[in-house]
Structure 1
Amino acid sequence: MTGPRIRELHDLADLQETYRLIGRIWGDDAGPVSVEMMRALAHAGNYVAGAFEDGRMVGCSVAFFAAPAGTALHSHVTGAVAGRGIGLALKLHQRDWALARGLSRITWTYDPLVRRNAHFNLVKLGARPEEYLTSFYGAMTDAINGGDESDRVVAAWDIAGPPPRPAEPPADAAHGVLDRDGRPVIGSVDAETVLVALPEDIEGLRRTDPGAARAWRLAVREVLGGLLAGGARVTGFHDRTCYVVTRAPRPPAAGPSDRSPR
């Protein structure tokens, strides 16, 4: 089987079709990016691309150059028809496009509660979350976000180096967030490695049990957000269910010989 055909987009007709596809994927006529913005970004030399099967657009991606200047690309939107490897093909095309322009890093934001996105970003691509952003876009009312606050993590993909080895949690890892009968329970973070569980289907939960969805948002915000703010690193995504977070080693306690004289 051959993959989708991917090409950069510049023509207005292609950009209008991109806008319609984004609207269908996000379930929102407005969508996260306008035709006019895509037109301006493409004209200025940024990345606007579409994936096609049998002449039909089945995926798209929009990205722009980012700081540090000359080294990074920020991917604002990537959407694809699910289940056929189109999203992966788009990200690999985006990587090759960035490398050809001397870039070494691609960043993007994603909802940390969505298991499949976490697995895709951390396991398939080898990106790593670097920063937790609380309600980054405010409340969002499209079909995917369902009125939830738009907490995001910034994922960074080192496209110039080898992919990181996935971290397996040690036996003594602490469970910072656990899934108990579909609801989050905040546990302990008092270990070098902390596991942060995610709900099985946060998008469905927003429709069927908004209270539980809100509880997950707050629990992951408190634990994962707090760990990242404190200097911890996400080093893997275990068993398609939970983040593996490694805390910075604690400095040894000062002994008598370490103390300065009064």
Structure 2
Amino acid sequence: MTAAPRELHSIQEFEDVYRLFDDIWHPEPGGAPISVELMRALSHAGNYVAGVYEDGRLAGASVGFLGAPAGRVLHSHVTGAAAGRGIGFALKTHQRAWALERGIERITWTYDPLVRRNAYFNLAKLGARPEEYLPSFYGVMEDAINAGDESDRMLAVWRLTDPLVLAAVRREPYEPAVPADAAVGLADVDGRPVLGRTDAGTVLVAVPDDIESLRRTDPGAAKAWRHAVREVLGGLLEEGARITGFHRRTCYIVERTV
């Protein structure tokens, strides 16, 4: 049976989180995403450490800390959960409620822009908006998921009372229509990135079907995708365009400002 998400406070619970994250990322020694001691300190100082237990075993957890400007932002540093059971969504809605109780207006986090399921979850299921492309944000990462790739990240911003977010927490995913004259700025052709046009008002930017598998099976293709998405998507954001959605679970919808 899955219990509701709750804050965690004990060393035993933080050790459960550490083991869960280790099972998910399989980091090299010394490369864990967060330590038991730091979780203890963050929790004691009033930051966010929460988890979901399933039949007595931790199935998901999230750790965040208060950011700037003070009292208005929570940065969600790391979240990991068993896939396909709604645990990630439950954690995010718990995190949102926790933040609102404290007068916090928005939550931010980073994610790999090449991971389709994460992009869809963040944009469609949560109503968050990616607002900044961050090349090689964490430097070299040697865990089982990220090894061999550069750690580019997207900064997602979750404005907690935005109408899209209110709809999302009612389980109404946001999947906007794409205009007929949208340009394809980056396409997936037989598993490889192919550059296109980026001069239209709406530009579609594809990401690979499964970048995590591609890193293992074809590192050259994975690297090509990383650099192409950095060039096209990162370049559009740098020019002032904004990401407004994720189309058919395959590509970002980017709108140029007028």
Partner of 1:203: 212
Partner of 1:122: 123
Indicate the RMSD between aligned Cα atoms, in angstroms. Answer: 1.2
Note if contact 2:2-2:55 (Cα within 8 Å) is conserved in structure 1: no
State the Cα distance separating 1:3 from its structure 2 match: 4.9
Partner of 1:219: 228
Distance 1:193 1:68 in 2: 32
Matched, 1:175 2:184: yes
Note if contact 1:196-1:244 (Cα within 8 Å) is conserved in structure 2: yes
Matched, 1:108 2:137: no
Q: Secondary structure at the match of 2:94?
A: helix
The answer to which of 171-180 and 155-164 deviates more is: 155-164
What letter is aligned with 1:174? A
The answer to which of 61-70 and 109-118 deviates more is: 61-70
CA shift in 2, pair 1:64/1:52, >3 Å:
same
Distance 1:214 1:169 in 2: 28
Partner of 1:194: 203
What letter is aligned with 2:10? D
1:80-119 per-position Cα deviation (integer Å, ceiling 9, x unaligned): 0111000000000000000000011000000000000000
Identity of aligned residues (%): 67
Report 1:66-81 matches (<5 A).
66-81=67-82
Matched, 1:161 2:162: yes
What letter is aligned with 1:247? R
Report 1:1-262 matches (<5 A).
3-28=2-27, 30-163=31-164, 166-249=175-258
Distance 2:210 2:142 in 1: 18
Note if contact 2:2-2:53 (Cα within 8 Å) is conserved in structure 1: no
Note if contact 1:108-1:155 (Cα within 8 Å) is conserved in structure 2: yes
CA shift in 2, pair 1:230/1:192, >3 Å:
same
Q: Secondary structure at the match of 1:248?
A: coil
What letter is aligned with 2:5? I
Distance 1:3 1:50 in 2: 11
Note if contact 2:183-2:199 (Cα within 8 Å) is conserved in structure 1: yes
State the Cα distance separating 1:4 from its structure 2 match: 3.4
Structure showing greater radius of gyration is 1
Q: Secondary structure at the match of 2:5?
A: strand
What letter is aligned with 1:179? D
Note if contact 2:5-2:91 (Cα within 8 Å) is conserved in structure 1: yes
Which TM-score applies when normalising by structure 2? 0.94
Note if contact 1:146-1:203 (Cα within 8 Å) is conserved in structure 2: no
Q: Secondary structure at the match of 1:63?
A: strand
Give the ranges of 4+ consecutive aligned residues of structure 1 lying more than 6 Å apart after TM superposition: none
Partner of 2:168: none
What letter is aligned with 1:12? I
Structure 2 unaligned blocks of 5 or more: 166-173
Partner of 1:254: none
State the Cα distance separating 1:127 from its structure 2 match: 0.1
The answer to which of 161-170 and 233-242 deviates more is: 161-170
State the Cα distance separating 1:194 from its structure 2 match: 0.3
Query: How many residue pairs get matched?
Result: 248
Q: Secondary structure at the match of 2:164?
A: coil
Distance 2:32 2:247 in 1: 32
State the Cα distance separating 1:160 from its structure 2 match: 1.9
